[in-house]
Amino acid sequence: MDLLSYRQTPVHRFDPRAKLIATLIFLFCVVSFHKYQLSNLFPYFIFPVYLVSAGDIPAGYIMKKIIVVSPFALMVAVFNPIFDTAVVSHVGHLGVTGGWISFFSIMTRFALTVGTALALIACTGFYGICNALGRLGMPRVFVVQLLFLYRYLFVLVEEAARMLRARDLRSFENRGRGLRVYGPLMGTLLLRSIDRAQKIHRAMVCRGFDGTIRITGTHSFGMREYVFLALWTVMFICFRLWNVSVLAGDFFVRLFS
Amino acid sequence: MSHHIIKADEIHFTYPDGFHALRGISFLITHGESVAIVGANGAGKSTLLLHLNGLLLPTQGGLRVGDYPVTKETAHHIKRSVGMVFQNPDDQLFMPTVYDDVAFGPLNLGFPPEEINGRVQQTLETVGAAHLVNRPTHRLSGGEKRRVAIATVLSMTPDILILDEPTSDLDPGARRRLIELLGTFHHTKIIATHDLDMVLDLCERTIIINEGSILADGRSAEILRDEALLKKSSLEKPLRLQGCPVCGKKKKTRR
Ligand SMILES: Nc1ncnc2c1ncn2[C@@H]1O[C@H](COP(=O)(O)OP(=O)(O)OP(=O)(O)O)[C@@H](O)[C@H]1O
Ligand SMILES: [Mg+2]
């Protein structure tokens, strides 16, 4: 993921702060919609699509990640169609219940927010984002927490992968694979991750880490950043105030009739 | 700068789980010395090295590095002058790419940003890893990781260099190059290793550690010849000091 952030495209070169603020406004607008508002959400896809295409990020990769975490959103959304059965509109002869609308609304919002967050990381780098948060005035303690959380997440995953591989090499015919092995394995994983985390922290301290993240390549908040931020902000707010999908639909209907 | 000394005075260290890893270690290492620390697996070499830059603090006894006694307060001064290469390079590399990792130390030490680029390139060249500069650190081979790990420390130009098993994982060519590189480094060096042939090349002095205490401390040339002593600490005479196995056999068959 972080490797993607080393490409050199115009999106990558924007100051991380501009991208971060734009994304925050974006998230705020998307989340603030009412749960029955579905069509209003569609215009917002332009932002993640812009980041992905202008940042030259493999779209399939982002999709895959969204699908991996989508069960969480499904769990939240799945009860809506069951409990909310009031019919709110009709498509042809079929009644569409409020439950289904809010189900799709939740899923769309989920795809928008997660997709944009991933795209932001891919074209900025997590260190860049943390750096931006710090420069925007977020207390340093939180920034460092976030940084370490991210760093140790990888440690945990790597450690788990290594242990599973070692186990698979020494377990035969399903012996040594059962749930009984998982208990101790999880315990060891936790202890090993803590140990590795300590060692990494040690290595960082050894090389002069004092709680500030310094990154090569200085960005500055120039004209380009202001234009970028202003354009997107205006667009998000317009999408929020007017239902652009409906307007566009009306426009085409009028055009052809 | 003649004060890069390291003085240990009866250091004891007990791990939090109660394991008594160091049991009274004393030595004085003066400026410019190159010292090998050898001993069996689990003798306490790595534990001792972690004390030398303040990562572990002795539970008993005192340690001075340069002008400072090693305590929590002085630890950051000490880290600046003591560069440490860990036994496991995975512990050393934590940034996404090789470039960032090598630049991490210099950036934190406040070197001017415009110098960083050149410094990173230069150190990577010294360890023969210039072609790896944009690779992700977790996808390197064992030996490549080792070279980059050494570069991350060299880029900070430390006064005292501490290496924990630097030649393990290296191919013979890279090992030879590393030995030559370390030979050009004229500051104080402390190397924990099982590679006694390297010790002969690099270190005038050897300290043998056994079960947390010092078994011998003296000139490498003498210590590495003392077979009884070496055997006691699960070591062997360096190959170069042993008779040639091939010629030795020939002589026997002729007789
Ligand atoms: N975090 C720890 N907690 C408890 N005991 C430890 C810890 N780390 C090491 N030890 C113990 O301390 C002793 C010395 O370990 P150390 O790593 O210093 O050995 P070493 O001389 O470097 O060995 P090697 O040649 O294998 O690297 C070992 O017996 C080990 O079991
Ligand atoms: Mg060791």
* Spatial distance between the Cα atoms of B30 and B2, rounded to a whole number of angstroms: 9
Which of the four pLDDT bands, split at 50, 70 and 90, describes residue B6?
very high
* Spatial distance between the Cα atoms of B162 and B187, rounded to a whole number of angstroms: 11
| For ligand 1, mutation pick of B17, B37, B45 (most atoms within 8 Å of CB) | B45
Q: Is the pLDDT of residue A28 over 80?
A: yes
Chain B CB within 8 Å of residue A204 CB:
yes
Q: Please, what is the Cα angle at A108 between A105 and A113, to 5 degrees?
A: 120
- Which chain B residues have a beta carbon less than 8 Å from that of A151? 94
Per-residue pLDDT averaged across A45-58, rounded?
86
Q: List, in sequence order, the alpha helices (H) in chain B.
A: 45-52, 75-81, 89-92, 98-108, 113-126, 142-154, 172-183, 196-202, 220-223, 227-232, 245-254
- Which one of A35-49, B29-43, B64-78, B175-189 scores highest in mean pLDDT? B29-43
Report which protein residue has its CA nearest ligand 1's atom 9: B47
Task: Give the CA diameter of chain B.
Answer: 71
pLDDT by residue (tens digit) across B111-149? 888 888 899 999 999 888 899 988 888 778 888 898 899
Report which protein residue has its CA nearest ligand 1's atom 17: B46
* Spatial distance between the Cα atoms of A213 and B219, rounded to a whole number of angstroms: 44
Q: What tokens appear for A139 in the block? A: 């207390």
Does the Cβ of B44 fall within 6 Å of ligand 1? yes
Does the Cβ of B49 fall within 6 Å of ligand 1? no
CATH no. of B6-90+160-241: 3.40.50.300
Does the Cβ of B83 fall within 6 Å of ligand 1? no
Average pLDDT of the residues of chain B: 87
Q: What tokens appear for B104 in the block? A: 């991490």
* Spatial distance between the Cα atoms of B93 and B99, rounded to a whole number of angstroms: 11
State the best of B49, B85, B92 to mutate against chain A, taking most chain A CBs within 10 Å.
B92
Average pLDDT of the residues of chain A: 81
**Interface predicted TM-score (ipTM) of this complex, two decimals:** 0.72
Q: What tokens appear for B159 in the block? A: 């006064």
Q: What tokens appear for A102 in the block? A: 């809010």
pLDDT reported for residue A215: 61
Question: Cα B57 vs. chain centroid, distance in angstroms?
Answer: 19
**Interface subset of A 161-190, CB within 8 angstroms of B:** none
Q: Is the pLDDT of residue A216 over 60?
A: no
Tell me if A77 sits within 8 A of A106, measured CB to CB: yes
Per-residue pLDDT averaged across A146-172, rounded?
78
Q: Which of A125, A158, A207 is opposite residue B108, by nearest beta carbon?
A: A207
Per-residue pLDDT averaged across B207-218, rounded?
93
Question: Which bound ligand lies closest to the C-alpha atom of B86?
Answer: 2
Q: Is the pLDDT of residue B20 over 90?
A: yes
Does the Cβ of B42 fall within 6 Å of ligand 1? yes
Q: Which of B79, B103, B153 is opposite residue A216, by nearest beta carbon?
A: B103
pLDDT reported for residue B198: 92
Q: Is the pLDDT of residue B194 over 60?
A: yes
Report which protein residue has its CA nearest ligand 1's atom 22: B46
Task: Sort B168 into a burial class: Cβ within 10 Å, 0-12 / 13-18 / 19+.
Answer: middle
* Spatial distance between the Cα atoms of A222 and A155, rounded to a whole number of angstroms: 37
Q: Please, what is the Cα angle at B73 between B69 and B78, to 5 degrees?
A: 55
Kindly determine whether residue A207 and residue B152, on different chains, have CB atoms separated by under 8 Å: yes
A212 vs A149 pLDDT, higher one:
A149
Per-residue pLDDT averaged across B228-255, rounded?
72
Q: How far does residue B40's CA lie from ligand 2's centre (Å)? A: 9
Chain B CB within 8 Å of residue A67 CB:
no
Q: Is the pLDDT of residue A204 over 80?
A: yes
Q: What tokens appear for B170 in the block? A: 């290296």
Nearest of A111, A122, A84, A116 to residue A100 by alpha carbon: A84
Q: What tokens appear for A59 in the block? A: 């779209």
pLDDT by residue (tens digit) across A119-143? 888 888 887 888 888 888 888 788 8
Tell me if B74 sits within 8 A of B61, measured CB to CB: no
Q: What tokens appear for A227 in the block? A: 């234009």
Q: Which residue of A has its CA nearest to B152?
A: A207
Residues lining ligand 2 (ion), CB within 5 A? B 46, 87
A56-to-A6, A11, A117, A128, B96 alpha-carbon distances in Å: 11, 9, 16, 18, 19
pLDDT reported for residue A175: 65
To the nearest whole percent, how much of chain A has pLDDT over 90? Answer: 1
Kindly determine whether residue B138 and residue A158, on different chains, have CB atoms separated by under 8 Å: yes
Which of the four pLDDT bands, split at 50, 70 and 90, describes residue B49?
very high
pLDDT by residue (tens digit) across B76-94? 788 888 889 988 888 888 8
Looking at the complex, report in whole angstroms how far the Cα of residue A179 sits from the nearest Cα belonging to chain B.
Answer: 29
Kindly determine whether residue A215 and residue B107, on different chains, have CB atoms separated by under 8 Å: yes
Which of the four pLDDT bands, split at 50, 70 and 90, describes residue B22?
very high
Q: Is the pLDDT of residue A76 over 50?
A: yes
Q: Which residue of B has its CA nearest to A211?
A: B108
